[in-house]
Chains A and B, each alone.
Chain A
Amino acid sequence: MKQVLLLHALLLYAATGGFAAIIKVHAAANSIHQAIEQAHSGDTLLLQQGFYREHDILVSKKLTITGQGLPVIDGENKYQVFIIAADSVLIQGLQIQHIGKGSVIDMAGIKIINAKCVTIRNNRFINNTYGVYLQNSNRCYIVNNTIHSDTKGEINGGNGIHAWKCEGLGIKGNSISGHRDGIYFEFVTHSYIADNTSFENARYGLHFMFSHNDRYAQNTFMDNGAGVAVMYSRGVVMYDNAFNHNWGDASYGLLLKEITDSKIEHNRFIKNTVGIHMESTTRVDVRHNLFSENGWGVRVQASCSGSNFVENNFIGNSFDVTTNGTMMLNVFNHNYWDKYDGYDLDKNNVGDVSYYPVSVYSVITEKIPPAMILYHSLLTNIMEQVEKVMPSIIPDMLKDDQPMMKKLKL
């Protein structure tokens, strides 16, 4: 009992702030450096409004760094700014800008190295090579930041949020634009990406490599150079995201390569050159998605197997599905195709004849890309009609035996 009381007393003492001090920092030469040096673990640094020209600020204590009135910390296009090497650090309300570009080290606005439970929230990152850079850091939270760069081009830029070998990250409500990849994951597991907007990045809006058991939901990916890429991962859940207008010669809404046991549900793919491009995937569930006004709705390479395309809406795509072989180990079922012109005699809302979503012209162009020069010519239109009546070139294994007559409610 005595011990419990003592513990209570201790906790009370801690809660009243006996240990934690609040240190106000004003803009002056090396003021942040000095403040961190003087501070003890658990203290709060209040950065006042102003322009701080400081760099390589190593945070090796558990500190809360809060900006008041959006203080600006400038890397002068030469240096990096924060390096966090302590657990449970919180950084909020800062504007970090003009980070330099190094060929030996990746310079970032905030770099988190070997730390746990770091929170970065409500900051602005402007014109940085890398915005937030996480390295071997677990359970960190990157919330409500604006990360923007004017650097154009894939070679010169870094990623908005870059994570390498992390676990249990939470990345929420950020807006990322103008970087190389909006969000980049490599060896990151059990993480959650939600409510982010990633647009106008030079390469991918979101880029996954070897990152297993992650989930991303309610994000918007727009106008990225090559869309979103998810590669060499398993157990990825993609839910309720919008992939809009990733439009260009080499652009995809979603590019999947060697993905296993993943789920793609309730997403919207609108106006992409290719809605989903799948290569060597195994057991991917594609359900309740909308594919609208894409060049190619879904491009399933013959190397994919065990995937289900069930209850999706395909509306106004130039080509609904293409593939590069005759073998098809995936299942299409209960989808709505706006090009379906079969009938439903028993009125059960399921078409009575199978639908072959691969058009003959898409088979030809998949084999011989230059044939695309005949796109929209009278000849190809006639070929489509003929093939509809008598399928001979199109892969007859790829079909929807139960096409829906009406658009599905998703």
Chain B
Amino acid sequence: MRTIIKYVLFDLLRNKTIIVYALILAAITISVSGMGDNASKGLLSLLNITLLFVPIISILFSTIYFFNSVEFTELLLAQPIRRKTMLLAQYAGIAIALSIAYLAGVGIPVCILYYTAATITLLVSGLFLTLIFSALALLIFVLFKDKTKGIGAAIITALFFTLLFDGLLLSFIYSFSDYPVDKPLLGLISLNPVDLARVLVLLQLDVAVMMGYSGALFKKFMGSATGSIYTVICMLCWTVIPLIIAARVFKKKDI
């Protein structure tokens, strides 16, 4: 397994895309931080960038990579390795590469510029998003045989979580505005890792008070130790469950 991870990692690091991704993230981070005069605002813009770019790029890049290395996968499968090990090793390789790119692009500049609890939360959420969306990419890879369909599915998945889900959530809030929806909202938000990450970081920033009464409820839950643990567990589930499903499907897949 370790050998496969090593090969995937080397392959990816030699691949220019990852480096370009890291550089773009770094450039955006530095320019955004330079513009805002206070840390809170800078972090807010960074949060927006993380929430927009990380899911889309992670899922697209991973999907494309998986599909492009189908031949390599087939070659490996001819060796006496378990399918699950091979698949997870490939996932690990790409997830590690993307995480390194994220940490290098956003983590290093942001830790130098402003180092607070919120920064750590932002980085942890970003890393989780990377892991989650590459896991989803893996799932897409095993579910679709056709590359084009796979990429289409990846784009739709990314858009669903960054945009569509919020739209549905908003219409839910609208239609049930006469009822106390605060607590159901907490549950619903767990269904979207991007929202989880956003709320988690927002609660660490000054703007948390703007959430008002309902914010107080969110803060009471999400801001507490149990809440943080709950969020992390949710994120872990979001990483692990797609991986398990992918492994199951891949086991029986006809290649």
Contacts and interface: CB of A to CB of B under 8 A. Distances in A.
Interface of A: 247-249, 251, 273, 293, 295-296, 318, 364-365, 367-382
B37 to A, nearest CB: 9
Contacts of A372: 210-212, 214-215
Nearest to B206: A247
Given A369-B213, A377-B166, A318 B51 contact: no
B210 A370 contact: no
Nearest to A374: B166
B177 A367 contact: yes
Contacts of A371: 170, 173-174
Contacts of B177: 367-368, 370
Nearest to B205: A376
A374 B47 CA distance: 13
Contacts of A368: 173-174, 177
B15 interface: no
B217 to A, nearest CB: 9
Contacts of B51: 377-378
Interface string B141-181: 00000000000000000000011001101100110010001
28 contacts: A249-B216, A273-B210, A293-B38, A295-B210, A318-B210, A365-B212, A368-B173, A368-B174, A368-B177, A370-B173, A372-B215, A373-B173, A373-B189, A373-B211, A373-B215, A374-B166, A374-B195, A375-B202, A376-B47, A376-B48, A376-B198, A376-B202, A377-B51, A378-B52, A378-B162, A378-B163, A380-B166, A382-B163
A377 B50 CA distance: 11
Interface in B205-233: 206-207, 209-216, 218
Which of B44, B169, B173 counts the most chain A CB atoms within 10 A?
B173
Nearest to A365: B212
A295 B209 contact: yes
Contacts of B189: 373
A367 to B, nearest CB: 7
B199 interface: yes
Contacts of B182: 370
A318 B207 contact: yes
Interface in B25-70: 38, 44, 47-48, 51-52
Nearest to B184: A370
Given A368-B173, A372-B211, A379-B166, 20 more contacts: A249-B209, A249-B215, A295-B207, A370-B177, A370-B181, A370-B185, A372-B215, A373-B199, A373-B211, A373-B214, A373-B218, A374-B195, A375-B202, A375-B210, A376-B47, A376-B48, A377-B51, A378-B48, A378-B163, A382-B163
Nearest to B167: A379
A378 B160 CA distance: 12
| Chain B interface, >50% SS class | helix
B121 to A, nearest CB: 14
A293 B189 CA distance: 29
A367 B175 CA distance: 12
A313 B88 CA distance: 57
B202 A379 contact: no
Contacts of B211: 372-373, 375
A34 to B, nearest CB: 55
Given A377-B51, A377-B195, A369 B212 contact: yes
A251 B210 contact: no
Contact of A251 (B195, B199, B209): B209
A379 B173 CA distance: 14
Contacts of B174: 368, 371
B210 A377 contact: no
A255 to B, nearest CB: 15
Contacts of B195: 373-374, 377
Contacts of A377: 51, 166, 194-195, 198
A380 to B, nearest CB: 8
A251 B210 CA distance: 10
A373 B196 CA distance: 10
Contacts of A295: 207, 209-210
A248 B215 CA distance: 11
Contacts of A251: 209
Nearest to B217: A370
Interface in B183-197: 185, 189, 194-195
B190 to A, nearest CB: 12
A305 to B, nearest CB: 25
A373 B166 CA distance: 10
B198 A249 contact: no
Which of A247, A248, A293, A379 counts the most chain B CB atoms within 10 A?
A379
A382 B181 CA distance: 24
